[in-house]
Structure 1
Amino acid sequence: MPLPDCAIPTPALPLCSPTDAMQRVLRQLCEALLSEGCAQGVTTQDGRLCWHLGPTMFRAQGRCGAFSRYRLTQDSIEIARDHGWQPADLEDVLSSIDAPEAALAALRTDLTRTAELDDLNHQQIPRPPRRHQLGVAQMERALHEGHPYHPCYKARSGFSDTDHLRFGPEAGQRFRLIGLLFHHDLIQQNLPDDDFWSRELGQQEWNRIQGIAADQSIDLGTGGFALLPIHPWQWDQLAQDPLIPAWQSGGQLVMIGEIGDHYSATQSVRTLMNADQPQRAHVKTAMTMRNTSSLRTLIPETVAVAPVISDWLVKVIAADPLLQHDYPLTLLPEYAGIIAGRGTALEGHLAAIWRQSPASLGLADNQMMPFNALSLTEGDGQPLIAPWIATHGRDRWLAQLIETAVLPVWHLMVAHGIGLEAHGQNLILQHDNGWPTGIIARDFHDGVEYVAPLLSRPELCPDLAAIDPVFATAPLDRFHALACGDGLRELVMDTLFVFNLADLSDLMQRQFDLPESRFWQRLRARLDRYAADHGQAQRMAALAPFAPQIHAESLITRKIDPDRTGAYRHLIDNPLATAKDS
């Protein structure tokens, strides 16, 4: 049976105005609670969705879309009160959730702060009226919307208003990193060669830093001290941590002030792009800031192995003609990682990873678009991709998008047993005036997983334990190695479909007269043809991507039940299961 094409249509989501940021937070909170099965007694009455949170009843205009993603109409959420219906507010919903008070208090803070920072953007930061012609660097700043599913899409816990305007991507401010010199006993690093710093910083700046070190009788060579640049906000947060002055007084840490080029934040906030020389690396920094559901520090075990993971992917792609020609997959490899304080209370809080920048690929900036921009709507209510659809045609454009964006990631999973965390922020669409021509992937150190028995070239798989002994005894499913194909499928389908292309399929139903059922029917047909063309039917079936129900990550449940043991996941209906016969 196909997906229901529509109940009550939900309008496009324009950029929020200062008056409706809290309404967006409320809408996305209710959508997430419904999608993750946190509500009870979900029914349709009088053309509206109705549900209970505990004894309290709510209703709203909306529908249940692909992958059990609920889509509610903003400003339509009501609560049953005093024998009638009244507009609901955030506190009405929060007070009805059965969760520990501490978790609710933290959630309340993050939701409120999200609305405040969204409002602050509207008050302080002008935005372009149309964004489809912007380059990828400009788009990193112009994507004001944040996460389309998570209600804490701009929480940035720990940021003051000043911090937000200085270090958030939207304002596009430039700043320099803070240089820390750590004794080698506190450092774990993986650098490509001895010329790393002179190449990254420029010889003149590297000479200056070496001079500062020499003036303090510090050896920056092998066996002495090592340089770690960190985010200036992070230094402000950690400078008074007891470990920092202890290391300083013990002669194990020296802060040398601002170093290197100026940077500005990308949409992830913690990953920084070089504002002076864009072709130089993006630097992913550790930040003790919570956004959506995660603290934005770096997983300690993944920092030093980052270059090895990227090298592995490069080799796998180079050895596969299909990934070279038929389904080309371009990578932005991570090639250096440094972390300080392993095994201490600040583990993961002092780290950086260097990644090739989009500008280094030699493509025009306006031929690259962050993938999560495709489902957005402009302030005038028009989809960002509307000019592209008008130029190329809806059906041709969608078919080409599936060909260039889905099949490379899908082939890597099915044929090679390797999964990418392919959410919209990690993918960049290469295009020619909106016509999809390729896909660029990034962020691999903690976003690549594999199943050893499914690897097509097991001899290429790196021995991570040679870099960090923790990998020798780590159980499956803790880091990159998974126990079975279910986890691999869940990673790829969660990030590429459930919380990514499902937003595009919703947009195309609302704005381009393409029912979601037809969207997923077309994608399913192309995946079936891929398997038949390349003899991959058996391997694809083993991953069970077309099961009637699959698991998805429970993002809001992680916030309201933070002490749960086990995985945060819930069952959802899979539109690909029925798409073949629809």
Structure 2
Amino acid sequence: MNLVPLDLDRDLELLHGWVTHPRSHYWGLQGAGPERVRDEYRKIAENPHHHAWLGLDDDGTPLFLAETYDPAHSELAPHYAVRPGDLGMHVLVAPPTRHRAGVTSAVMRAVLDFCFAQPGIDRVVVEPDVRNDAIQRKNAEAGFVVEKDVPLHDKTGRLSFCTRTAYAMSAPHLQPAAMEFANRRLIAKAIAEFSHERLITPTHEEGDSYRFGDLTFTAQRFALEHWVVDADSLEGGPLDALDFVTGLRETLGIPEKLLGTYLEEISATLAGSAWKFTHRRETADDLVHADFQTIEAAMTEGHPGFVANNGRIGFGLQDHEAYAPEAGQPVRLRWVAVRKDASLFVTTGDEREHYLAEFGADTLDRYERTLKARGLDPDDYRYLPVHPWQWEHKVTVTFAADVARRAIVPLDEGDDRYRAQQSIRTFFNTDRPERHYVKTAIAVQNMGFLRGLSPKYMRATPPINEWVKSLVDSDEELRDCGFSVLRELAAIGYTGDAYHRTGTPSVYTKMLAALWRESPVPQLADGERLATMASLVHRDRDGNALVTALIRASGASPAEWVTAYFRAYLRPIVHCLLKHDLAFMPHGENLILVFENHVPRRVFMKDIGEEVAVMNDQPLPAEVERIRIDVSDEIKELALFTDVFDGFLRHLAGILAVDGVLSESEFWGLAGDCVRGHAKDHPDLAGRLDLFRPAFAHSCLNRLQLRNTLQMVDLTDQASSLIFAGELANPIAVSG
């Protein structure tokens, strides 16, 4: 949100409608005509101690009116001891034209942010009408403390103060209503996913009614033992997700020494959900027309399968508000120079040209002059981007000796602004969207891993990406489907520290590294727009699904829409598996959809270096050999059954069925048609794998995290880390 000076010539009609609306009766202008309103605000414009501001929503739509004033020059002055640094404030939110949850709280924060951004302001003063209970609740939420009631010319005002520190500590999302919302949804998800993984078994009572322990709820069950639990139906006891998990610790098999860590991830997931409930206001209909990064920031769920999916252990409140993707804040990365003889850099092109393309000749020249000013030779150094959190909490402490001896040289923050993506350590360049994503190491524990990057492991990342890109681009079927990959083109890592010199891999050898990945923006045609595939399983805080809104807006029938989606996503995955024995990790956050007229037409696959596997003995370049794995045909098939069907499509099928858009039988019938259509077009691949087998091994994600929330799997041998719980019926085996 943004505040601009009120312009009476431009804004009078709008202003008159707001201040005379019945909802604005405490504003004191009921029944006033336009000229009276003009006179009132002309007085403010002529008063050097009083200012009026028009508040704009993020899209530029007028949303609220704010006034700021100097209390020493107001009728408040006789009623309290005015301090230097006091600023008076009034706020009026526009009458709603549609339901948008959380608007008033967001406006209050925008106005207070604006007030405290003024030089010298330490305390904000308000005096709402004593009868206005609603605004007093919002004031208290923001950190205001009531001092006393005071008689003013048109009301009795409730004099209240909010200091800068009280506002910073207010944590408005940590309120009962937001936390109840978060607890309900997390317990509902836990019941659904732990039931899906056969860790717990709710008792069926009648109809859609179930019981688990003291809790009763309604739920719908679908193929792949997928549960959709109605969070609002939960009854039967205090709804506390932490107590719920603690009570199941033996059933879930959480090691005693890791219980606290898992509970902290649950608590952080609750806090994140409460924050999104409080601050994210986009409806599903809004997101249908939103840009790529607005959609990325609006996602409320995280990974659809994991219960503790938003841990971010290490982030404080201010870190969350600065760096979490849902905060949507601009981030400037910190840049350091690292000695070439104490680091590695791998790219498919020229290193210096890479820097010139990423931050330009002027910035590169400035960094080189910085090194020279310190008596250092720029030819001895290369340039590494660092997450601001990582610089503050790790580099200056964990690598203090390396900074002191100038093996690591602090430079400056970069010129470009970035936005954090769903993976929290990957950044999209919002100032120059054609430039690469930057993926940084960050020592934050999130969803089963400390989010570091290994320089040694990344040495092969650019060559792997080039090999995969070449294979994909040369395949006619994949070209016809529009399937492509976003290459990780360059990687850098610092290796000159004591942790590397021990020769023992650890979290400390993954703390100072980064890579660059292609942006999809330059590859778009006119009329195309982008969205993370995770958005297809997104519901807004009112429970409305984005995918349902997209299908409605597209004008296509649900079957036509889903068929187009399967051609863009499912068919290429099947082809890569059957033709090349090539498997990706194609979950929602790893795919970027390209829409045309709200219909998905093609996809970009990303995160190639860490999550691609070749499952045959085809010749590979030596530097690519790392991605080869030797597994059975049954494990190969799980690249479709587990990663696509169970990992993503069951969630999408459930949403469409619950919303009455497309039945699950139709959904899985279309999936089966897609796989059969590929087989018909490629008879030479028929029978390579049994994709229509009646059942497949049930590989469980939460069981991995519950077993070891610090490191779910060994990235160098992921197949051996899998945990199975029997079999699941194949939903396409009976389709067609």
Match status 1:335 vs 2:492: no
For 1:464, which of 623, 636, 640 is the aligned residue? 623
Structure ranking higher on relative contact order (CA contacts 8 Å, 6+ apart): 1
Contact 2:465 2:609 in 1 (8 A): yes
How many residue pairs are counted as aligned between the two chains? 538
Match status 1:376 vs 2:531: no
Please state how far the C-alpha of 1:421 moved relative to its aligned partner. Answer: 0.8
Q: Distance in 1 between matches of 2:428 and 2:322?
A: 15
Q: Say which SS state the counterpart of residue 154 (structure 1) adopts.
A: coil
For 1:95, which of 241, 247, 252 is the aligned residue? 247
CA 1:182–1:323: 2 relative to 1, 3 Å: same
Q: Distance in 2 between matches of 1:165 and 1:100?
A: 32
Q: In the TM superposition, what are the counterparts of 1:147-296 in structure 2 within 5 Å?
A: 147-191=303-347, 192-193=349-350, 194-221=352-379, 224-242=380-398, 244-296=399-451
CA 1:117–1:69: 2 relative to 1, 3 Å: same
Contact 2:307 2:702 in 1 (8 A): no
Q: Distance in 1 between matches of 2:346 and 2:270?
A: 40
Please state how far the C-alpha of 1:49 moved relative to its aligned partner. Answer: 6.7
186-195 or 163-172, larger mean C-alpha shift: 186-195
CA 1:33–1:198: 2 relative to 1, 3 Å: same
Match status 1:436 vs 2:583: no
Percent identity between matched residues is 22
CA 1:568–1:484: 2 relative to 1, 3 Å: closer
- Measured against aligned partners, the alpha-carbon deviations of 1:274-298 in whole angstroms (never above 9, x if no partner) come to 1211110001111111222222212
User: What is the aligned partner in structure 2 of residue 10 from structure 1?
Assistant: none
- Measured against aligned partners, the alpha-carbon deviations of 1:449-503 in whole angstroms (never above 9, x if no partner) come to 11123xxxx34x332279xxxx5xxxxxxx5534344443323433322121111
Contact 1:136 1:366 in 2 (8 A): no
Q: Distance in 1 between matches of 2:218 and 2:565?
A: 31
Please state how far the C-alpha of 1:319 moved relative to its aligned partner. Answer: 2.0
Q: In the TM superposition, what are the counterparts of 1:511-526 in structure 2 within 5 Å?
A: 511-526=659-674
Q: Distance in 2 between matches of 1:280 and 1:581?
A: 44
Please state how far the C-alpha of 1:523 moved relative to its aligned partner. Answer: 0.9
Match status 1:65 vs 2:226: no
Q: Distance in 1 between matches of 2:258 and 2:556?
A: 48
Q: Distance in 2 between matches of 1:63 and 1:188?
A: 52
User: What is the aligned partner in structure 1 of residue 29 from structure 2?
Assistant: none
Aligned-residue RMSD, C-alpha: 2.8
Contact 2:550 2:598 in 1 (8 A): yes
CA 1:540–1:520: 2 relative to 1, 3 Å: farther
For 2:721, which of 553, 564, 567 is the aligned residue? 567
Please state how far the C-alpha of 1:337 moved relative to its aligned partner. Answer: 0.6
Match status 1:351 vs 2:525: no
Give the AA of the match of 1:263: Y
Q: In the TM superposition, what are the counterparts of 1:27-42 in structure 2 within 5 Å?
A: 27-39=188-200, 42=202
Give the AA of the match of 1:376: H
Q: Distance in 1 between matches of 2:665 and 2:211?
A: 25
Q: Say which SS state the counterpart of residue 326 (structure 2) adopts.
A: coil
Please state how far the C-alpha of 1:431 moved relative to its aligned partner. Answer: 1.6
For 1:551, which of 674, 691, 698 is the aligned residue? 698
CA 1:575–1:483: 2 relative to 1, 3 Å: closer
Q: In the TM superposition, what are the counterparts of 1:418-567 in structure 2 within 5 Å?
A: 418-453=582-617, 458-459=618-619, 461-464=620-623, 471=626, 480-541=628-689, 544=691, 546-562=693-709, 567=721
- Measured against aligned partners, the alpha-carbon deviations of 1:526-579 in whole angstroms (never above 9, x if no partner) come to 21231132114545425x563412232422542355599962422365453564
Q: Distance in 1 between matches of 2:225 and 2:414?
A: 48
Match status 1:311 vs 2:447: no
CA 1:540–1:319: 2 relative to 1, 3 Å: same
Larger radius of gyration: 2
CA 1:214–1:365: 2 relative to 1, 3 Å: farther
Match status 1:44 vs 2:204: yes
Q: Say which SS state the counterpart of residue 445 (structure 1) adopts.
A: helix
Please state how far the C-alpha of 1:513 moved relative to its aligned partner. Answer: 4.7
Q: Distance in 2 between matches of 1:416 and 1:547?
A: 24
Q: Say which SS state the counterpart of residue 512 (structure 1) adopts.
A: coil
Q: Distance in 1 between matches of 2:271 and 2:442?
A: 21
Please state how far the C-alpha of 1:48 moved relative to its aligned partner. Answer: 5.8
User: What is the aligned partner in structure 2 of residue 576 from structure 1?
Assistant: 730
Give the AA of the match of 1:21: A
Please state how far the C-alpha of 1:379 moved relative to its aligned partner. Answer: 4.2
Contact 1:520 1:576 in 2 (8 A): no
Q: Distance in 1 between matches of 2:318 and 2:436?
A: 26
CA 1:106–1:49: 2 relative to 1, 3 Å: farther
Q: Distance in 2 between matches of 1:366 and 1:486?
A: 38
CA 1:515–1:574: 2 relative to 1, 3 Å: farther
Q: Distance in 2 between matches of 1:366 and 1:465?
A: 33
Q: Distance in 2 between matches of 1:113 and 1:197?
A: 37
User: What is the aligned partner in structure 2 of residue 139 from structure 1?
Assistant: 295
Q: Distance in 2 between matches of 1:546 and 1:87?
A: 44
Q: Could you state the TM-score of these two structures normalised by the residue count of structure 2?
A: 0.68
Contact 2:356 2:364 in 1 (8 A): yes
Match status 1:403 vs 2:567: yes
Contact 1:517 1:579 in 2 (8 A): no
Contact 2:427 2:438 in 1 (8 A): yes
User: What is the aligned partner in structure 2 of residue 104 from structure 1?
Assistant: 259
Q: Say which SS state the counterpart of residue 551 (structure 1) adopts.
A: strand
CA 1:214–1:240: 2 relative to 1, 3 Å: closer
Q: Distance in 1 between matches of 2:477 and 2:424?
A: 34
CA 1:120–1:264: 2 relative to 1, 3 Å: same
- Measured against aligned partners, the alpha-carbon deviations of 1:1-32 in whole angstroms (never above 9, x if no partner) come to xxxxxxxxxxxxx9997231121122222222
- Measured against aligned partners, the alpha-carbon deviations of 1:392-414 in whole angstroms (never above 9, x if no partner) come to 11111111111122111211111
Q: Distance in 2 between matches of 1:105 and 1:49?
A: 33
User: What is the aligned partner in structure 2 of residue 74 from structure 1?
Assistant: 231
Q: Distance in 1 between matches of 2:188 and 2:312?
A: 19
Q: Could you state the TM-score of these two structures normalised by the residue count of structure 1?
A: 0.85
Give the AA of the match of 2:360: G
Give the AA of the match of 2:676: D
Give the AA of the match of 1:197: Y
Give the AA of the match of 2:623: L
Q: Say which SS state the counterpart of residue 689 (structure 2) adopts.
A: helix
Q: Distance in 1 between matches of 2:339 and 2:525?
A: 40
Please state how far the C-alpha of 1:258 moved relative to its aligned partner. Answer: 1.6
Give the AA of the match of 1:96: L
Q: Say which SS state the counterpart of residue 675 (structure 2) adopts.
A: helix
Give the AA of the match of 1:421: M
Q: Say which SS state the counterpart of residue 489 (structure 1) adopts.
A: helix
Contact 2:334 2:411 in 1 (8 A): yes
Structure 1 gap ranges (5+): 1-13, 79-84, 472-478
Q: Distance in 2 between matches of 1:225 and 1:385?
A: 48
Q: Distance in 2 between matches of 1:399 and 1:362?
A: 22
CA 1:548–1:444: 2 relative to 1, 3 Å: same
User: What is the aligned partner in structure 2 of residue 389 from structure 1?
Assistant: 551
